[in-house]
Amino acid sequence: MIRLGSLSFSWLALCLAFVNLGFSQQISKTKPPGKAPTVEEAKAFVEEAEARLLALSVDASRANWVQSTYITEDTEILSAQANERAIAAGVDFAKRATRFDGLKVPADLARKMKLLKLSLTLAAPSNPKESEELTRLVASMEGTYGKGKYCPEGQEKCLTLEDLTRLLANSRDPKQLLDGWVGWHRIAPPMRNDFKRYVELANKGARELGFADTGAMWRSKYDMPPDSFAKELDRLWNQVRPFYVSLHAYVRNQLREKYGDVVPATGLIPAHLLGNMWAQSWENIFPLVAPQGADPGFDLTEILKKRNTDHRQMVKYGEQFFTSLGFELLPKTFWERSQFVKPSDREVVCHASAWDIDNVDDLRIKMCIDITAEDFNTIHHELGHNFYQRAYNRQPMLFRDSANDGFHEAVGDTIALSITPEYLVKLGLLIKSPDASKDIGLLLRTALEKIAFLPFGLLIDQWRWKVFSGEIPPEKYNETWWQLRQKYQGVAPSVPRSEKDFDPGAKYHVPANVPYTRYFLAHILQFQFHRAFAQSAGCQGPLNRCSIYESKEAGRRLNDMLSLGLSKPWPDALEAITDQRQMDATAILDYFAPLQKWLDEQNKGKPVGW
Ligand SMILES: [Zn+2]
């Protein structure tokens, strides 16, 4: 579901963007005054950057596509080389852009300059030794994570993260679950010292660029002062927190009925019992907590299979959703070049992704489609990326991306929210949609996936920002991690933890230096978009039953937003759909209103909160 495809400049930056900017404010102050740059030079520089980055991005996309759909040693090398070339160019342009600091240029040009510099997620210090050390540290931490395995005592077979993910999702034996949880978290302590050093060096690089620290650099990407952005996130979380607390209380009760005293009647839920290694989404325990009669009375997977729906037809359904909104058909090449079916004769990356190879209209998806309800959903989600990519393809290269990094995922997810029973009736897949009494089951499942995620989506960077700012010292890495998990998620480890552990390192994005706030934003935005579209589409009933299928008005608004790309600050893009310039989590409360009411009834007289 992650967009791996379009190799836009900021994608490169997200990927690893390593920069040795080779300058510092001190140095530039003592430098002999050179000839002051002109606006004309700035313009020419940006034009050169855009042309070069576009060309390199297309090369890299082609190499990555071949690598993902035909994995061999050679294709892996070719794609790594193409990525390196593109990244090196990005770093070089970011470095050269600083020459124009302080020059007054037209707004568009200023925005492009800013994007060139802000797209970095890691700034290496100008000292070459330190820069090299930082590169090595990140590669090594990522490698340690990637190779991480749990080898249970007395067993021959070691368990990979994939094995352990399945175990956490499917086992209902608390001992086995705890063993898997503890086993995986053992991969992280060896990273602790590297992580500490990485924080020092990354901060040094960020400070040379004029940021207070790396966390402040990350927060600067949101068209507002870094501290205001942090406050915005708090505000959004507080809007939705009471609903999360209700969900938490209900789930705690149900788990207690299933597992007994392992789950306390009040307080924190043991982190290993929620169906996921990080307790970040809880849909895997739906069968454990589902109310009686939660079954919606139809099974889309069964329907699709019975009708002998083929892979192409699955994708056609998705395309038809967008054309019903007024979007053009996908290009012929999409159907010729996409990968829908897992090839039988070679290794491929099956993880679903959407691509825009030439950054114009060579759109593709890469999936190994199963004829299931889940993949029906995923197709709608992936095509959301493709239609976004095509909508901004007339923007200058540096603006060919989503309004902020939360938007791309939010669009795909918004579209998937429109896959309602009524939509399936319109497609002729379902004869009659189930009545409203079935909604609680559907809503609960969605809440376990999306609402349970919110506190986790927030806390990873809450922790990292404090680590980067020095508020959390290394000797408190683990203690503060669990304080935040307690504060936001209401979960706790079932075995004592200490500073010998390094539990944040057991989540990929921490060792790999990937910012996480975008996922929180995407989860907030998708409901806000959906609520606004529901109004445009004239939906009368509850939000969870509204599909914007066939609404030209919703389609027009969507296209207005998508076609802005990254050319304007994100509040402009938000306004194009919602008429609001602020993110707003009350749409989540509206969407789940029937479930909130039901949860309150279930929780009556029982402890709520922790
Ligand atoms: Zn996605």
- 351, 374, 436, 471: the active-site residue: 351
Return the pLDDT at 125: 84
User: What residues are paired with 366 via a beta bridge?
Assistant: 339, 353
Residues 38/145, Cβ–Cβ less than 8 Å: no
233, 223 contact by CB (below 8 A) = no
Q: Using the mean position of ligand 1's atoms as its centre, give its distance from the Cα of residue 391 in Å.
A: 16
CA of 353 to the centre of ligand 1 (A): 7
Residue from 244, 477, 519, 591 carrying the catalytic annotation = 519
382 is catalytic: yes
Lowest-pLDDT choice from 256-270, 284-298, 401-415, 465-479: 284-298
Among the residue ranges 120-124, 254-258, 259-263, 344-348, the one predicted with the least confidence is 120-124
pLDDT for the residue 85: 86
Q: What is the pLDDT of residue 34?
A: 65
Residue burial 490-529, b: 16+ Cβ < 10 Å; e: rest? bbbbbeebeeebbbbbbbeebbebbbbbbbbbbbbbbbbb
Q: How far apart are CA 211 and CA 197, in angstroms?
A: 18
CB 272 within 8 A of CB 183: no
pLDDT digits (tens, 9 = 90+) for 366-385: 999 999 998 999 999 999 99
The residue ranking higher by pLDDT, 139 or 262, is: 262
pLDDT surpasses 70 at 25:
no
**Number of H helices and number of E strands within the chain?**
26, 6
Mean pLDDT of 65-77: 90
Instruction: Classify 525 as helix, strand or coil.
Output: helix
pLDDT at 28 exceeding the cut of 60: no
Sign of dihedral through CA atoms 373, 379, 381, 382? Answer: positive
Q: What residues contact 477, with CB distance under 8 A and at least 6 apart?
A: 192, 195, 196, 467, 499, 502, 504
Contact 184, 276 (CB under 8 A): no
Percentage of the chain beyond pLDDT 90 is 76
Q: What is the pLDDT of residue 15?
A: 34
Distance (angstroms) between ligand 1 centre and the Cα of 54 equals 22
CA–centroid distance, 350 to ligand 1, in Å, is: 14
To the query of whether residue 283 is one of the catalytic residues in this protein, the response is no
Is 601 a catalytic site residue?
Answer: no
pLDDT tens by residue, 534-572: 999 999 999 999 999 999 999 999 999 999 999 999 999
Write the pLDDT tens digit of every residue in 88-115: 788 788 878 889 989 999 999 999 999 9
Q: Is 319 a catalytic residue?
A: no
Q: Identify the sign of the CA torsion 231, 465, 6, 281.
A: negative
Ligand 1 centre from 5 Cα, in Å?
A: 10
pLDDT mean over 133-162: 90
Structure tokens at 208: 């040379």
* Assigned token pair, 38: 């002109």
Q: What's residue 24's pLDDT?
A: 33
- Which residue in 50, 208, 319, 382 is the catalytic one? 382
Could you say which of 185, 272, 380, 381 is catalytic? 381
**Who contacts 166 (Cβ-Cβ below 8 Å, separation ≥6)?**
none
Does 529 or 132 have the greater pLDDT score? 529
Distance 407 CA to ligand 1 centre (A): 10
Are 563 and 391 spatial neighbours (Cβ–Cβ below 8 Å)? Answer: yes
Smallest CA-to-CA distance from 289 within 543, 596, 602 is with 602
SS3 state at 244: helix
Q: Does the active-site annotation cover 311? A: no
Confirm whether 352 is a catalytic residue: yes
- pLDDT confidence of residue 394: 97
Alpha carbon of 412 to ligand 1 centroid (Å) = 6
Distance 489 CA to ligand 1 centre (A): 24
Q: Has 381 been annotated as catalytic?
A: yes
How far CA 307 is from CA of 185, 428, 429, in Å, comes to: 45, 11, 9
Rounded Cα gap, residues 101 and 56, in angstroms = 26
Helix 439-450 crosses helix 226-259 at what angle (to 10 degrees)? 120
Consecutive H or E run containing 479: helix 477-484
Instruction: Give CA–CA dist 458/237, Å, rounded.
Output: 8
Distance CA 336, CA 221 (A): 37
**Band of pLDDT at residue 295, cut at 50, 70 and 90:** confident
Q: What is the mean pLDDT of the chain?
A: 91
Neighbours of 436 (CB within 10 A): 12
Q: Are the CB atoms for 539 and 546 separated by under 8 Å?
A: yes
State in Å: Cα 242 to ligand 1 middle.
28
Centre of ligand 1 from the C-alpha of residue 378, in Å = 8
Is it the case that residue 32 has pLDDT exceeding 60?
Answer: no
What is residue 9's predicted lDDT score, i.e. its pLDDT? 38
The average pLDDT across 392-417 equals 95
Beta bridge partners of 398: none
Q: Which of 80, 509, 512, 553 is catalytic?
A: 509
Q: How many CB atoms lie within 10 A of CB 328?
A: 10
Check residue 130 and give its pLDDT: 92
- In the reported structure, the alpha carbon of residue 445 is separated from the centroid of ligand 1 by a whole-number distance in angstroms of 20
Spatial CA neighbour of 152 closest among 177, 170, 179: 179
Q: Is the pLDDT of residue 332 over 50?
A: yes
Please state, in angstroms and rounded to a whole number, the distance separating the CA atoms of residues 121 and 117: 10
pTM of the predicted structure, to 2 decimals: 0.90
Residue 2 Cα to ligand 1 midpoint, Å, equals 4
pLDDT tier at 43 (50, 70, 90 boundaries)? very high
Question: What percent of the chain is helix, strand and coil (3-state, nearest 5)?
Answer: 60, 5, 35
Give the pLDDT score at 3. Answer: 38
**What pLDDT does residue 36 have?**
86
- Among candidate residues 208, 283, 319, 409, the one labeled active-site is 409
- Residues 583-600: pLDDT tens digits? 999 999 999 999 999 999
CA of 548 to the centre of ligand 1 (A): 19
CB 94 within 8 A of CB 117: yes
pLDDT confidence bin for 2, thresholds 50/70/90: very low
Catalytic residue among 82, 97, 352, 554: 352
pLDDT of residue 350: 87
Question: Of 55, 74, 201, 193, whose CA–CA distance to 126 is shortest?
Answer: 201
Q: Assign 3-class secondary structure to 270-322.
A: EHHHCCCCCCCCCHHHHHHHCCCCCCCCCCHHHHHHHCCCCHHHHHHHHHHHH
pLDDT at residue 18, rounded to an integer? 36
Q: Residue 103 C-alpha to ligand 1 middle, in angstroms?
A: 38
Distance 452 CA to ligand 1 centre (A): 19
Ligand 1 centroid, distance to 3 Cα (angstroms): 5
In this structure, how many other beta carbons lie within 10 angstroms of the beta carbon of residue 157? 9
379 CA to centre of ligand 1 in angstroms = 10
Q: Which H or E element spans position 198?
A: helix 192-208
Q: How far is the CA of 484 from the centre of ligand 1 (A)?
A: 27
Centre of ligand 1 from the C-alpha of residue 102, in Å:
37
Instruction: Say how many Å lie between the CA of residue 328 and the centre of ligand 1.
Output: 21
For residue 6, pLDDT beyond 60? no
Q: Tell me if residue 409 is catalytic.
A: yes
Q: For residue 29, is pLDDT > 90? A: no
Q: Which of 385, 408, 523, 530 is catalytic?
A: 385
